[in-house]
Structure 1
């Protein structure tokens, strides 16, 4: 389920979970996607130029073979760059990372190699006749700003938001649990899918109605107790318990501290 299209500005994409809780994602507009594409195009062009220069020097005695091989290498670098980075960086290339954009599945979860390959192998069609005119028109008319490759792969491009660590997790009791090696080790064993759900809930909790919010975190709280094989501390609500796990998943204490500086700010609504 999506909102009405907003061709040039950012729009919204709404995902309804099996628990009937809605999550809203801010769709990337054409302008930000174009800037990200320019950055990636420059990187690919520079990379190809360096490779082809070395190739032509090495095969200077075989100009015909060097020219044919140059075309093959260009397409391999062009496609391989996006497919490799979007797979390794969960939907981001250098350009998308600089612009805080990310490719995700329409269901709201991260993409894998299959989705990255499918959406990028369709680029030759999206590029027709020049400068992504077909892809741009497709995104302009699509409710979710999808070019043909995105439609084929079932993906969307969204704006990324950073996790805000709530001030409620700054008490000595929670800090003590965050220093518990057993708790941290069990949290780190959570699957990628479980981490995605936890972070999505933490990021977008302010967008939910109170009833949906209570229902979502009640379900997550119970599942986390089973997954971690640990009882939830009695003084913590299901929501705070889930947010505590999200905090423990952050990469380092220093990263938690930097995010902690944003505690009093509310997430930006799309």
Structure 2
């Protein structure tokens, strides 16, 4: 992701490896602030493995419930069989809808394969999107093993099956970026200790927080030109969002790092403690 100045063509940072791009393709989202997000699309193979794992879980849950119904309704085997079919479809649909809603686009299978469903605009999905894409699964499964959905994904520019097209969603691969244990804010402990600054940072929207943290985590992956332009745009945006002027001695990148440090309590630099009275006395002896 990197900002684009008005009148210039959009360019992309090297946050995705060439291998990822060739194998899975990418999806690009341009925000109104001329910041581009580049997502690596999940390939059909990884999606199939995630679906296979989810299917095993659905079958196990369904069999457990059906077995329980059979034991409870042993005197009515016909009714138990009919209820078993209903239970399977309810578990099959409810599993995907519930987990993708609660886990922001992930099921057990997707989490295991580091996949996530998001909206085409790049933001998280909600119940509406999860319901639409899962209710369309019976059509995508036709005639067997998601043949319709697989063919649709192959010819789609964003590898979307019919359910994804209906819901306006895509499936992307998540990059597991390690949050640093400490963000270097040496020399600026006074600003981090300012209650006004910290309180305004805490009021940033979820989108703005993710934007700041992503930029901080991936800044070393960017070329210098892209890095300077990205933090220049972020610095201006943060001044508007916080309604605070950036200190003149701070660069845009350092300003963004301080905001990230305020967002992550464990990442704030702890200033050295002054010596205690007893220690001072001991040293003077």
Q: Bin the TM-score by the shorter chain.
A: 0.7 to 0.9
CA gap 1:19/1:86 in 2 versus in 1, 3 angstroms: same
Mapping of residues 195-206 of structure 1, within 5 Å: 195-202=209-216, 206=221
Equivalence for 1:113: 127
Mapping of residues 82-161 of structure 1, within 5 Å: 82-161=96-175
Distance 1:235 1:32 in 2: 48
Equivalence for 1:220: 237
Displacement of 1:105 after TM fit?
A: 0.7
Equivalence for 1:69: 83
CA gap 1:106/1:93 in 2 versus in 1, 3 angstroms: same
1:145-191 CA-to-partner distances (Å, cap 9, x unmatched) read: 10000011111111112345579922434678668787666544443
Q: Which has the higher contact order (CA 8 A, sep 6+)?
A: 1
Contiguous gaps of at least 5 residues in structure 1: 258-270
Distance 2:190 2:91 in 1: 49
Mapping of residues 167-246 of structure 1, within 5 Å: 169-173=183-187, 187-202=201-216, 206=221, 209-210=226-227, 212-226=229-243, 232=246, 235-246=249-260
TM-score by length of 1: 0.78
CA contact under 8 A between 2:185 and 2:258: conserved in structure 1? no
Distance 1:54 1:127 in 2: 28
Displacement of 1:94 after TM fit?
A: 0.7
Q: Which shifted more, 146-155 or 232-241?
A: 232-241
Paired residue total: 248
Q: Which shifted more, 196-205 or 102-111?
A: 196-205
1:194-252 CA-to-partner distances (Å, cap 9, x unmatched) read: 334434544565458356414431343224423xxx665555433333344345545x7
Distance 1:130 1:70 in 2: 22
Distance 1:76 1:244 in 2: 48
Distance 1:137 1:146 in 2: 10
Equivalence for 2:30: 16
Distance 1:175 1:78 in 2: 52
TM-score by length of 2: 0.74
Distance 2:87 2:227 in 1: 55
Q: Which shifted more, 88-97 or 206-215?
A: 206-215
Secondary structure, aligned partner of 2:37: strand
Distance 1:220 1:129 in 2: 50
CA gap 1:172/1:197 in 2 versus in 1, 3 angstroms: closer
Q: Larger radius of gyration, structure 1 or 2?
A: 2
Equivalence for 1:265: none
CA gap 1:203/1:172 in 2 versus in 1, 3 angstroms: closer
Secondary structure, aligned partner of 2:23: coil
Distance 2:52 2:179 in 1: 34
CA contact under 8 A between 2:132 and 2:163: conserved in structure 1? yes
Distance 2:140 2:232 in 1: 42
